[in-house]
Amino acid sequence: MNKPLADRIRPTELCDVVGQKHLLSPDKALYNMIQNGDIPNLIFYGPSGVGKTTVASIIANKTKRALRKLNGTSASTQDIKDIVAEIGTFSAPNGILLYLDEIQYFNKRQQQSLLEYIENGKITLIASTTENPYFYVYSAILSRSTVFEFKALDCNDVMPAVERGFKFLEKENDIKITYPDEVVKKIALGCGGDVRKALNSVENCYFATPTIDGEKSITIETAEELTQKSAMRYDKDGEEHYDIVSAFQKSMRGSDTNAALHYLARLLEAGDLPSACRRLMVCACEDVGLAYPQIIPIVKAAVDAAMMVGLPEARIPLADAVVLVAESPKSNSAYEAINTAMADVKKGNFGPIPRHLQNKHFDGEDAEIKGQHYVYPHDCPNHWTQQQYLPDKLKNTKYYEYGTNKNEQAHKDYWSRIKGEK
C-alpha cells in the first residue's frame, strides 16, 4: 500500500515548506542554524500538520545524520536505548537525530532518560509537541533545548500545497486532473491549517472522481463532500480550548460584540455548547453584574433555551445573549467584593457573630449582656436602623464599593439619604 500523499510529497528543501516564514526565512535564526549544520537540541511547539516533522527531516538530511522517529504515545525507554545502541555503527556513521513526536506524553522518568544522551552529544534531540512545552516538558530538557513555535497555517499558506498535491498525483498516475479554483480554496479552508488533512482530502478527491476519456475532473461538490467539516482546530482538553473560551469572555467583557460573536461561532462550530453557555453566565454575573442585574435571569433564560433546543438552533438564543452582554454597561464591583471577603475568610480574618444576630433566644450565666437586643429594621423609618452586623474584629471593614454606573450610583444616592450621609 502506498504511503499517504503527505509523506510522498514531503518537501526536502526549506524553500518548499509552506508557511512558517517567521522561522524559515533566510534572515531567521533557525534557518541559519540548519544551513550551517550547527543544530542544538530543539523543541518544536505548534499544532499538528504545520511542518514540524518536515523540518526535522530536512535537518537530518542537511546534517547527514540518521533520522530516527519515536512517538511519545507509544515509545518506551527501551526504544531510546535501542536507538543509542546504533551510535558508531554503519547505520549511523555521522550520529543520530532523534525526532520525538508528542513528547508531552512521556512521563518525567522517561524524559529524564534522555538527559544523559543529549548532554554527552550522542544524539541530537528534536522534540515536538502540540501543547505548551513550558507546562509539559521536563525543565531539565527545556534548559538544554531551544524552543521554536510553529504557527497555524491560513488558507493562503495551504493552497500551494494543495495544488502541488494535485500535480504530483497527475504526474504519478500519468493522468490529467482538472478542477476549478474553488476546489483548491475549499480544501485549503476545510483543513483547519493542517497540511496533512488537506493532502488527505486531495487524495480522496482523486480516488472519488471517475476517469472519463483519460481525465479526472474534480468538482466543487466532491471537494465539499470529502473535505473536513471544520475549518478550525479544537480540542476540548487542549490549550486551544482554553484560548477560545478565554477570548470569548474577554471579548464580551471588553464590549467587542463582533469578536464575541466570532468566538461564539468557533465554540458552536466545534459543538462545545456547554462551554459557551457557562462562559455566558459567568460573564453576565462577573462583568455586567450590578450595572444591569436584570441581565442574569435574561441570560439564564437564553442558556436554558439553547440547551433545550440544542444545536444548530441554540445559536439563536446564545447570539441574543452574547450581543446583550457585550453591549451592556459593565461593573465588577460585586465580583471584587466577594473576592476580598473570601480572602479575609481564608486568612482566618473573622470573629464571633454578634450576639444580636445569633439564632438563640437565651443567655448562659456567663453572658455579660443579657438579651439578644436585635432591632427589626422593618419597625424603623425607611426600614433601616444603625446596628452592627460584622464581627467585632471586622467592625469597620468595607468590601463593596459602588460602581460608577447609573444603577449603582442610584443605590448609593438612596442609601446616603437614608443613612444621613448627605
Instruction: Cis check for the bond before 312: say yes or no (omega within 30 of 0).
Output: yes
Query: Confidence class of residue 236 from pLDDT cuts 50, 70 and 90?
Result: low
- Residue range 33-59, pLDDT digits in tens: 988 887 889 999 988 888 999 999 999
Query: Confidence class of residue 373 from pLDDT cuts 50, 70 and 90?
Result: confident
Flag whether pLDDT at 235 surpasses 60. no
Q: Which range has the worst mean pLDDT, 321-335, 346-360, 392-406?
A: 346-360
The predicted model gives 21-27 an average pLDDT of 90
What does the alpha-carbon distance between residue 362 and residue 374 come to, in Å, rounded to a whole number? 13
Is residue 311 within 8 A of residue 268, CB to CB? The reply is: yes
> What's the domain count of the chain?
4
- Residue range 159-179, pLDDT digits in tens: 999 999 999 999 999 999 999
| Shared-domain flag, residues 37 and 97 | yes
Contacts of 234 by beta carbon, 8 Å cutoff, 6+ apart:
240, 241, 244, 266, 269, 270, 272
Helix (H, G, I), strand (E, B), or coil: what is residue 389? Answer: coil
CATH of the domain at 271: 1.20.272.10
Is residue 158 within 8 A of residue 164, CB to CB? The reply is: no
The predicted model gives 321-329 an average pLDDT of 96
| Shared-domain flag, residues 56 and 134 | yes
CB-CB neighbours of 330 under 10 Å: 19
What does the alpha-carbon distance between residue 290 and residue 404 come to, in Å, rounded to a whole number? 10
* Range list of β-strands (E), 73-154: 96-101, 123-129, 146-149
Q: Which three cell numbers stand for residue 45?
A: 511547539
Flag whether pLDDT at 363 surpasses 80. no
Is residue 244 within 8 A of residue 234, CB to CB? The reply is: yes
Residue whose C-alpha cell is 525526532: 99
**pLDDT value at residue 107:** 83
Residue whose C-alpha cell is 440547551: 307
Indicate whether 4 belongs to any domain. Answer: no
What does the alpha-carbon distance between residue 140 and residue 133 come to, in Å, rounded to a whole number? 12
Indicate whether 233 belongs to any domain. Answer: no
Flag whether pLDDT at 291 surpasses 90. yes
Query: Confidence class of residue 90 from pLDDT cuts 50, 70 and 90?
Result: confident
Q: Which of 243, 224, 226, 227 is nearest to 235 (CA)?
A: 243
Domain that holds residue 136: 20-149
What does the alpha-carbon distance between residue 35 and residue 28 come to, in Å, rounded to a whole number? 11
Q: Which range has the worst mean pLDDT, 20-29, 85-94, 178-187?
A: 85-94
| Shared-domain flag, residues 34 and 132 | yes
Flag whether pLDDT at 316 surpasses 70. yes
The predicted model gives 130-144 an average pLDDT of 85
Query: Confidence class of residue 250 from pLDDT cuts 50, 70 and 90?
Result: very high
Give one DSSP letter per residue of 25-70, joined into a string: STTSHHHHHHHHT----EEEES-TTSSHHHHHHHHHHHTTPEEEEE
Select from 175, 192, 226 the last residue of a domain: 226
Query: Confidence class of residue 230 from pLDDT cuts 50, 70 and 90?
Result: very low
Is residue 20 within 8 A of residue 148, CB to CB? The reply is: no
Select from 202, 226, 250 the last residue of a domain: 226
Q: Between these two residues, 366 and 82, which has the higher pLDDT value?
A: 82
The predicted model gives 277-282 an average pLDDT of 94
Q: Looking at this protein, which amino acid is placed at residue 342?
A: M
The predicted model gives 366-387 an average pLDDT of 80
Q: Which of 360, 333, 337, 353 is nearest to 395 (CA)?
A: 353
Q: What is the DSSP letter of 127?
A: E
Dihedrals phi, psi of 41, to nearest 5 degrees:
-70, 135
| Shared-domain flag, residues 70 and 112 | yes
Indicate whether 14 belongs to any domain. Answer: no
| Shared-domain flag, residues 24 and 133 | yes
Is residue 234 within 8 A of residue 270, CB to CB? The reply is: yes
CATH of the domain at 380: 1.10.3710.10
What does the alpha-carbon distance between residue 292 and residue 284 come to, in Å, rounded to a whole number? 9
**Which segment, 61-75, 213-227, 277-291, is predicted with the most confidence on average?**
277-291
CATH of the domain at 213: 1.10.8.60
What does the alpha-carbon distance between residue 198 and residue 99 come to, in Å, rounded to a whole number? 23
What does the alpha-carbon distance between residue 108 and residue 97 come to, in Å, rounded to a whole number? 21
